[in-house]
Chains A and B, each alone.
Chain A
Amino acid sequence: DVKVTQSSRYLVKRTGEKVFLECVQDMDHENMFWYRQDPGLGLRLIYFSYDVKMKEKGDIPEGYSVSREKKERFSLILESASTNQTSMYLCASRGHGSGNTIYFGEGSWLTVV
């Protein structure tokens, strides 16, 4: 089975802190994604990466950056956390041979106070 692991399930951070959310997948997938999930808004794409060191902005990239130094790891960075970034963050991955299926991690609940 494909496994997408997010390092932290629950985090509480202060406004202005730099926050790192880590995601690792074990299936040698080329594509990795970060979404945020908010009630009534569904999932919105923040950034995605289609290869090592490659990244593209999604629909809501403002206030976020990403890093993909190794194929298996995709990090989401909040340079200066704000309260409106309190949300559930979901990492996902997809490989060329996976029949278009995207696999999700269990999510990271971030609260910014």
Chain B
Amino acid sequence: GNSVTQMEGPVTLSEEAFLTINCTYTATGYPSLFWYVQYPGEGLQLLLKATKADDKGSNKGFEATYRKETTSFHLEKGSVQVSDSAVYFCALLNAGGTSYGKLTFGQGTILTVHP
């Protein structure tokens, strides 16, 4: 079946530091990949996505590249801000078979950014 593995958290950084949150996946076929962000007390918001190999998703200074050869979709940001403190979820969607339309999530990574 499908699975998503994220790096262990929590992650604590100083403002303007470089961020990487690792994400690897297992899936059959050609899934779409997503990063969602959850700010304190809120639901999940789509941060970025990539739908095929070598696609790069980007938004708000965050980037992630769909690497089929390493089955990875690592999230990066060059300079984090305090407002980036949140929980980040990597997710996979398989558009075919019995799992059509369902997202499979990683366990989430808590990011805290200090001034």
CB atoms of A104 and B43 under 8 A apart = yes
- Interface size counted on chain B using CB atoms at 8 A: 21
| Chain B residues, Cβ within 8 Å of A35 | 105
CB atoms of A41 and B107 under 8 A apart = yes
- Interface size counted on chain A using CB atoms at 8 A: 25
CB atoms of B42 and A106 under 8 A apart = yes
Within A8-50, the residues touching B (CB, 8 Å) are 31, 33, 35, 40-45, 48, 50
Q: Does more than half of chain A's interface fall in helix, strand or loop, or is it mixed?
A: strand
Within A35-88, the residues touching B (CB, 8 Å) are 35, 40-45, 48, 50, 58
Taking Cβ atoms with an 8 Å cutoff, the residues of B that contact A are 32, 34, 36, 42-46, 49, 51, 89, 93, 95, 100-103, 105-108
Taking Cβ atoms with an 8 Å cutoff, the residues of A that contact B are 4, 31, 33, 35, 40-45, 48, 50, 58, 90, 92, 94, 99-107
